[in-house]
Amino acid sequence: MGPCRLAGPPAKGVCGASHELITAKNLLRTLAAGAAAHCGQAARLGEYLGKKLPAAYLARKAPAYLYRAWRSAGLLPAPGPSSCFREISEAMHASAMGVNSDWGDLVKWCLKMAILDGYYGLHAATALEDGKFGKPEAREGALNLACLSARKVNIAVHGHEPAMVEAIAGEARRHAGVNLVGVCCTGATFLSAHGIPLAAHFTLQEEVIASGLVEALVVDSQCILPSLSDLCECYHTRLITTNPLARMPGAVHLPITDARSARRAAKRAIELALRNRSARKPGYEAAFGENRQPPARVVIGSSEENVDVPGIAAKLRRGGLKGVIAVVGCVNPRSEAAGWVDAFTELSRDYLILTTGCMAFELGSHGLLDGKRALHLGSCVNNARIADIFGRLAELCGRRISSMPLLVSCPMPITEKSAAIGFYFAALGCAAHFGGPFPVAPGTATAGALGALLKNECGGELLLEADPRVFREKVAKTLLPAFWGRERARRGCGRAGTGP
């Protein structure tokens, strides 16, 4: 017996677990892990800053009508930021062998994890980050491997924690010969806050080391490939870890727990990189120069405060925009990335694109982050900014979020975090799309139960589609245009775009 896997036609496993039960348990564990990552990031930042969220944070932050609906449906997490880890522990307990076998109840637990992730993870981390380091400002930036410099000492910073970003960015300004680049969500934070270029997303992180030009790779937590330990040994790169939870074999460990240790770690990391410049192997600089492509130019630094939300709402009411699509999450090598880029490029003709994380890098590297068709909102926890924009759009249009043409797409999920983000938006009442691979298959009883729960309790929708062409057709023809039928009826317009 065990572990539980969906392997064939039999309706139940030898223990009596149905396909629906196994799927619900696996999904709950996925969402609990995603919530643990984001809530842990927020809690760690709060400890670093000596800040705590108010006990009634969720009640104050969530739309009142949704808070009432969640409470009525039994979806609310226990009150207080400190309770989130107890809820995550209970979710893991409920989904353990021989505990909760009511898969319909486990599906409800999934939405509880998503709500918890949204408020005590995404919103909490973003609020703490903005309170200490300030909100980003719109600016031009650059991304891809061309941001590395053959003439300077290159330090790549990879992970998700802004405390490390701020410390090492401040120290690097004292060294004219140091070229700092970001990887993954740390890179998105660097780019938004400091204009420091973003070299790679999750899937391309090994290529940063394989360039042969990186003297030090400084990491904290989340989305860091274990292969980097071996890869750094193959080249001359010094691997440096900074999060006590995220140790790696062969790395220099410089734990960051407060501002003092952050400054000390940043100074030491740069010293190690400067000393390591002489170990750079010959031939890589010439090869880099021969193969170097120009960096992609992008517009970054959008936030809920500098985006023209009233203008977007006006365009939605007039029909100048068909809707707003948030493109979030990972870039999965098992998926057709080029097809998804094509799909969102096509959709950007009629829909405004808001994007974060690795998908922002992918869209930016193909020219879509121009500050008009697509707006860069930052790292994964900064999806809170998109949620705030969606809420404000609904207010300005006099509607609930579920009645707005708003879609969140996670087209190529890899991490548990991406699933939690998508389900949080679904709990808000958005249409939520997941591509593949994903723990829930379309057309199954579990997918139907999730969709019904979202629709009945939150007003949200669930779209499971791994083919970018089919997805584009569904969005363009069936999903978001339903808004315009309701809008015409409300305003008495003949067709979308003909009203005042």
Which domains, from first to last, does the chain contain? 19-133 (1.20.1270.30), 139-291 (3.40.50.2030), 298-491 (3.40.50.2030)
Residue type, 398: G
For position 13, what pLDDT does the model report?
A: 82
Q: What is the pLDDT of residues 45-68, one digit of tens each?
A: 999 999 988 888 999 999 999 999
User: CB of 300 within 8 A of CB of 369?
Assistant: yes
Taking 70 as the pLDDT cut, the residues of the chain under it are: 1, 6-10, 478-500
For 141, phi and psi rounded to 5 degrees? -145, 180
Output the pLDDT for position 489. 43
Identify the CA nearest to 171 among candidates 129, 137, 130, 216. Answer: 216
pLDDT number for residue 188 = 85
Q: What is the pLDDT of residue 491?
A: 47
118 vs 217: CA distance, rounded Å:
30
H/E segment holding residue 327: strand 323-327
Residue 470 CA to residue 476 CA, distance in Å, equals 10
Strand runs (DSSP E) across 150-222, as ranges? 153-158, 178-183, 198-200, 214-219
Q: How many CB atoms lie within 10 A of CB 334?
A: 10
Per-residue pLDDT reduced to its tens digit, 322-355 = 999 999 999 999 998 999 999 999 999 999 999 9
Helix (H) or strand (E) holding 431: strand 431-434
CB 384 within 8 A of CB 406: no
pLDDT of residue 488: 47
- Non-local (6+) Cβ contacts of 294 within 8 A are 146
Cβ(294)–Cβ(367) below 8 Å: no
Looking at residue 495, what is its pLDDT?
31
What was the pLDDT predicted at 494?
31
